[in-house]
Amino acid sequence: MGKSFKILCLTRFVFILQWLIFLTCFKTYRGAKVDESPYVVLFWHGRLALMPFAFRHFKCGKKRAYVMISHHKDGEYIAKIIKLYGLNSVRGSTSKGASSALKAAFKVLDENDDIIITPDGPRGPYHSISDGAILLAHKKNVKIRILNYEASRFWQFKSWDKMILPKPFSKIVYRLSEPLDVSQLSKDEAKEFLQREFEKIRQSDGFKE
């Protein structure tokens, strides 16, 4: 069995599994959809499992979204899966080998499309904000929006990002924050500000055990 066939089988399996779980769940969406302005959109790496459905809901017409995905082997699978949802990808990382990835991200924003980043990816630290996310917002003078979901019941993987996969028939709350302006903040101030905003959303949308 060739490598390409294995990748095809795995990506199709994950795609079908995502849809099966998503269709059984009860969804709530909070926050306005994106407008025609370009944004840097951030979500934690541990919320990757059912995040493609958020993009489908919050998208703006024919405006495109590009997800920054690392060159790591896992990134190849992720890039192929999100393509099935009509999402584009930029390969690279804002923390490792950043030059080409940042140039590609600048071009995305110049074309008034959105660049999507997991600021603690591809390998952590857990729930940290990368310099690259702030750099993009500062250099292109664009605002940041936070994307998140919380689930009433889920499996949590023993991975560095503590990824959660909602269980079938659970309740999921998806949220897209209002545009956040970090133009007047230093890099460290912006990181602290975004950490607080992520935490506010988690506390607001999280489910009590």
Query: What is the reported pLDDT for 2?
Result: 67
CA distances from 109 to 30, 44, 46, 187 (A): 24, 21, 25, 20
Q: What is the pLDDT of residues 76-89, one digit of tens each?
A: 888 899 999 999 99
Q: Is 47 helix (H, G, I), strand (E, B) or coil?
A: helix
Torsion of CA 155, 55, 196, 128, to 10 degrees: 70
Go through the chain and tell me how many residues it has.
Answer: 209
Residue 66 in this model has a pLDDT that exceeds 70: yes
pLDDT of 164 reads 97
pLDDT in tens, 117-171: 999 978 889 999 999 999 999 999 999 999 999 999 999 999 999 999 999 999 9
For residue 117, give the nearest of 15, 48, 32 by alpha carbon.
48
How many CA atoms does the CB half-sphere of 94 hold within 13 Å?
26
Whether the pLDDT of residue 73 is over 90: the answer is no
Number of domains in the chain: 1
pLDDT of residue 208: 76
Amino acid at residue number 62: K
Mean pLDDT for 3-17 is: 87
pLDDT tens by residue, 21-64? 999 999 999 999 999 999 999 999 999 999 999 998 999 888 99
d(CA 112, CA 39): 8
pLDDT of amino acid 209: 60
Pairing of strands 143-151, 171-176: antiparallel
In which domain, by residue range, is 200 found?
A: 3-205
Dump the DSSP string for 130-197: -HHHHHHHHHHT-EEEEEEEEESSEEE-SSTT--EEEPTT-EEEEEEPPPB--TTS-HHHHHHHHHHH
* pLDDT at site 112: 95
Of 59-63, 65-69, 103-107, 169-173, the one with minimum mean pLDDT is: 59-63
Tell which phi-psi region holds residue 92, choosing left (phi > 0), alpha (psi between -120 and 50) or beta. left
At 30 the pLDDT is 97
DSSP string, 85-99: TT-EEEES-SSSSHH
Q: pTM for this structure?
A: 0.93
